[in-house]
Amino acid sequence: MKKLLKAGSVFFAVIAAITVLHVTVLSPMQADASSVRRGSSDREIIRQIQTKLKNWGYYTGSVDGIFGSQTDAAVRYFQRKNGLSVDGIVGAKTAAAMGLKLKSTSSGSSGSSGSGAYTSNEVYLLAKCIYAEARGEPYIGMVAVGAVILNRVKHPSFPNTVSGVIYQPYAFTAVYDGQMNLEPNATAKRAANDAMNGWDPSYGSIYYYNPVTATSQWIYSRRTVVTIGKHVFAV
């Protein structure tokens, strides 16, 4: 009897060890809350990814919430075009470039900026552009300039990242005349955070210009939305 009990104990110990091993091996394969990749099961966020990629022309498949080979290829295409690491994984940087907020990005690299899916580097870059383009303008006008940049990120006619929009050739005077190299002040950084947190005093504008210094006649054909300080904001 003692031998049977001992044998039974060994048997259950082996089963328990196999169970632990099984869990240990499988756990890393579960979807990380901070990234979405091929095989992930969060259908809602996958649908959002597919919808954005489809709207921007990267994806031609069905918006079905299944991260398969087509979605993987579309993510890689998007990453390649936007200067991101091409791995097919929608992590913090790729999600930020798409304008998406993953489950854990709010407590990620953005630190105390409170700017959701945007990284601290993107907040800083936006602050630099705001400072270069709109220092001396009313605070609301500085936020509006930041909002225009973010509105372009979401617009299908422009690049899909903050850096892509800012460094698009001839998009902003401050980039090619060197003012982008100036260090942004605290006000510009606060304006960048406010814009990234959703404040849009431009009311969806994707252009702004100073009518006193603007040399392009084309810009005057755009519909004016609001004027703040020296800048006219338009769509």
pLDDT (tens digit, 9 = 90+) per residue, 211-220?
998 888 899 9
User: Which of 98-102, 106-110, 167-171 is the least confident region?
Assistant: 106-110
Q: CATH 1.10.10.2520 residue ranges in the chain?
A: 118-234
Phi, psi of 234 (to 5 degrees): -145, 165
Confidence of residue 221 (pLDDT cuts 50, 70, 90): very high
Q: Does residue 156 sit in helix, strand or coil?
A: coil
Q: Dihedral of CA 126/128/134/135: which sign?
A: positive
CATH for 118-234?
1.10.10.2520
Q: What pLDDT is recorded for position 11?
A: 45
Q: How far apart are CA 160 and CA 163, in angstroms?
A: 9
Q: What is the mean pLDDT of residues 155-172?
A: 91
Token pair of 134, please? 């709109």
Which pLDDT score, from 0 to 100, does residue 98 have?
A: 81
Q: Count CA within 13 A, CB hemisphere, residue 194.
A: 19
Indicate the fold that domain 43-108 takes in CATH: Muramoyl-pentapeptide Carboxypeptidase; domain 1 (1.10.101)
Q: What is the pTM of this model?
A: 0.53
Q: In angstroms, rounded to a whole number, what is the distance separating the alpha carbons of residues 42 and 61?
A: 18
Q: pLDDT tens digit string along 124-161? A: 999 999 999 999 999 999 999 999 999 999 999 999 89
pLDDT of residue 116: 52
What is the structure's pLDDT at 75? 94
Query: Which regions of the chain carry the CATH code 1.10.101.10?
Result: 43-108
Q: How far apart are CA 94 and CA 86, in angstroms?
A: 10
Burial class (CB in 10 A: 0-12, 13-18, 19+), 163: middle
pLDDT (0 to 100) of residue 117: 66
Percentage of the chain exceeding pLDDT 70: 80
